[in-house]
Amino acid sequence: MTDIAATVIVPVAQIDTARLIGGDQWAFRRALTTDPTGPSNPAAEITDYGSSGAADAGLLALIVQLPGVIADYDPEHSWQDTLAANGRYIIAEEI
Amino acid sequence: MTILQPVLQPVLQPLLVDPLAPGFGDGLTAAVKALFASGEKGVMFDFFNAANLYTDSARTALVAADGDRIGSVTDLSPNAKHGSSSGGARPTWSSAGYGTFDAFDDYLQTGAIDFSGTSNVTVIACVRKLSDAAIGMICELSANAGANSGAFFLDGPHSAGLATYGARGGGTLSASLNSTANYAAPASSVLTLLGNISGDSLILRANGTQDATSAADQGTGNYGNYALNIGARNAASLFFNGRIYRLLVIGRALTTTERNAAERWAAQPAGIVIP
């Protein structure tokens, strides 16, 4: 297994398949939205899920073939950079 | 270089001891390990020492270079409740002596720790909070300490946009508190949570000084038998944005001498001087 670092965004419509492929490597735990109010709005609609970090490259090669998946491999990019470049936002979380 | 006994020289130690020198902090590390000598439940995590950190949850390869991911952190207590994660959710190791949690999806999680024999807990964490934008869980016993009896958490910030730390803990009821002082990110801090269910006491200390306290009713019962989550709530939300250097969780109250030694142990990698 070879790891690759990336930030990956998967549309809701593909998330079950992506999680099935990704297993514990690419788990897509982070809910995302295209709603700019998301960072302060816990009720924002979930449009995508994301993973960011280093994990299995072979599995990611399969995941990126799903429709609408965005993968950013630039080591200079943080997950914030990737979200900003693609109009995605985190959704506020409350205790 | 002569290594001073950190217990005897807490003020001079950050100035005179090379933190990368072999043996750095060994005296305090041994003293903190000894806190578990009577079979106390809990964990002791040290992100400063690469020998404690593996890149995979199967614990087959030690971290070796900056940027390696931490798949498992060794529990230095006798309880062997190692903290694990996998894939993209692994925090990033720095050879400067900490794990960085990316505020997106990084976390570590232990197996269940059985605190059911005690209504006292002490949590000591050395962290560097990198952002106050969103609530971040430093550590939490159970999937949700607000919903589960016999649980606790330590978080930072405690409210989105505020420069605080916070804590919650209790039995059938729980108390919560916000730090009274502000610790605007980036802020390096040694945080201590002292929880006592039967005594209805929840105390937050920061950098060796008491910061906040709550005497709210914590109900009845002891702490529970739950997984300890580090850097997130149940691996799913409230992802911490910052570094963790060292973390001690032990199921008993410490004496003042023990607590001071443990806080100094936690503080060492970040160069924080505990009075």
Q: What's the number of CA atoms in the CB half-sphere (13 Å) around residue B205?
A: 24
Sequence-distant (≥ 6) Cβ neighbours of residue B37 within 8 angstroms? none
Alpha carbon B275 to its chain's center: 19
User: What is the rounded CA–CA span in Å between residue B203 and residue B177?
Assistant: 8
Residue labelled with tokens 């419509």: A13
Mean pLDDT of B117-139: 98
- Cβ contact (<8 Å) for A93 and B88? no
pLDDT at B175 over 70: yes
pLDDT at B242 over 90: yes
What token pair was written down for A88? 């995605």
A2-31 residues touching B, CB cutoff 8 A: 3, 6-8, 22-27, 29-30
Give me the phi and psi of B163, to 5 degrees please.
-95, 45
Point out the least confidently predicted range of A7-16, B3-12, B192-201.
Answer: B3-12
What token pair was written down for B9? 């020289």
Task: Supply the pLDDT for residue B33.
Answer: 97
Task: Supply the pLDDT for residue B275.
Answer: 82
Distance from CA of B130 to the nearest CA of A (A): 14
Task: Supply the pLDDT for residue B228.
Answer: 98
Confidence band for B24, pLDDT divided at 50, 70 and 90: low
Report, as ranges of residue numbers, the positions in chain A whose pLDDT lies below 70.
none
Q: Which residues of B227-255 are buried (b: 16+ CB within 10 A; e: fewer)?
A: bbbbbbbbbbbbbbbbbbbbbbbbbbbbe
pLDDT at B186 over 50: yes
The structure's pTM equals: 0.92
Task: Supply the pLDDT for residue B17.
Answer: 47
Smallest Cβ–Cβ distance between B88 and the set A25, A94, A95 belongs to A25
Confidence band for B25, pLDDT divided at 50, 70 and 90: low
Mean pLDDT of B220-228: 98
User: Interface pTM (ipTM) of the complex?
Assistant: 0.97
Instruction: Could you list the beta-strand ranges (E) of chain B.
Output: 42-46, 53-54, 72-73, 83-84, 92-94, 98-102, 108-114, 120-129, 137-141, 151-155, 166-170, 174-178, 187-196, 201-206, 209-214, 225-230, 241-250
Share of chain B above pLDDT 70, in %: 91
